[in-house]
Amino acid sequence: MGYKVAVVGATGNVGREMLDILSERAFPADEVVAIASRRSMGQEVSFGDKILKVQALDSYDFSDTDICLMSAGGETSKEWSPRIGQAGCVVIDNSSAFRYHQDVPLIVPEVNPDAITGFSKLNIIANPNCSTAQLVVALKPLHDVARITRVVVSTYQSVSGAGKDAMDELFQQTRSVFTAGQMVQEKFPKRIAFNVIPQIDVFMEDGFTKEEWKMMAETKKMLDPKIKLTATCVRVPVFIGHAEAVNVEFESPMSAEQATAILRSAPGILVVDKREPGGYMTPHEAAGEDATYISRIREDATVENGLAFWCVSDNLRKGAALNTVQIAEMLVNRKLLPRHQAA
């Protein structure tokens, strides 16, 4: 018996990626429905070799739908996810709206799969922030062997994390540099072309940005509340793919060789680490790939039991769409969907 799946936000970067990944991974769906706001109604999006006409969120009946992949922003999710859940459809939400709600599990399948059973109160499961997702995939297998006490991470985040308009702004500004055209600046607080911006999301009272706070809070919720984490999140002029420079402190010693062996055998990770020019991964190479790539693994002699590494992943895939589909696959494989439990 197949499933009926709705993708809300189907015309956006992540929504389109969700449709692609559902098709690529042959998700057992009898029907996939593309949904967006009323202004997008009637637009066409691709799903495998099919074309789907976009339906309007405010007039769609979710009562016969099993799974809703929600990627329409926090405000839309706050309004609609509880309603959709009450209709008996399980929402997997890509926004930050419910990540910190005590009755909503925050899931990365390679990290905390068993937490998924906690979704039944609201029928909502949260997908983590894109920068956090790849980080915890890398930290989890190391933490299982030698407990992590502290993490310092600096991110190099692509513009696609801010949506299609942000990608367009980078493209237009880059062209303007070479053509002496008008430099339009709308999506970012400073020019992004040939520049880096040490601000993602809004500033909080303590001087950290919301993006940095998300990494701290989500790592604690999914991995271990005792881990101390500090982050500096930076937007860079890259279209797709987030990179992170990560420094980790452990309770007990962890050699670079031991860490490499652990990471090589961990799910969702590929180690590319040759100590030679080009012997590492970059966002350009990670774009379109599912794995979280680890490079530059080395011991950090400035602290006791320290390790440093470089982490790269496609933020639209593992950071968003792929992780969401993997959660949906867990619901199917564990027979957790209400209408299919007796099947």
Catalytic residues, by residue number, are 130, 242
Pairing of strands 269-271, 292-300: parallel
* Nearest CA-CA partner of 131 in 162, 100, 174: 162
333 annotated ligand-binding residue = no
Place of tokens 């062209």: 175
8 A C-beta contact, residue 69 and residue 328: yes
The CA distance from 198 to 260, in Å, is 30
49 burial (CB, 10 Å; 0-12 / 13-18 / 19+) is: exposed
Q: Where are the beta strands (DSSP E) in 127-184?
A: 148-157
163 annotated ligand-binding residue = no
Q: Is 333 left (phi over 0), alpha (psi -120 to 50) or beta?
A: alpha
298 annotated ligand-binding residue = no
12 annotated ligand-binding residue = yes
160 annotated ligand-binding residue = yes
* Nearest CA-CA partner of 315 in 288, 285, 277: 288
264 annotated ligand-binding residue = no
Backbone angles phi and psi of 90, in degrees to 5: -85, 125
181 annotated ligand-binding residue = no
288-299 burial code (b ≥16 CB/10 A, e <16): ebbbbbbbbbeb
8 A C-beta contact, residue 261 and residue 297: no
15 annotated ligand-binding residue = no
73 annotated ligand-binding residue = no
State the Cα angle at 100 between 338 and 267, rounded to 5°.
70
339 annotated ligand-binding residue = no
State the Cα angle at 196 between 271 and 18, rounded to 5°.
55
8 A C-beta contact, residue 194 and residue 174: yes
Binding site per annotation, positions for phosphate: 99
Q: Specify binding-site residues for NADP(+).
A: 11-14, 39-40, 160-161, 315
Q: Which residues are annotated as a binding site?
A: 11-14, 39-40, 99, 157, 160-161, 235, 315
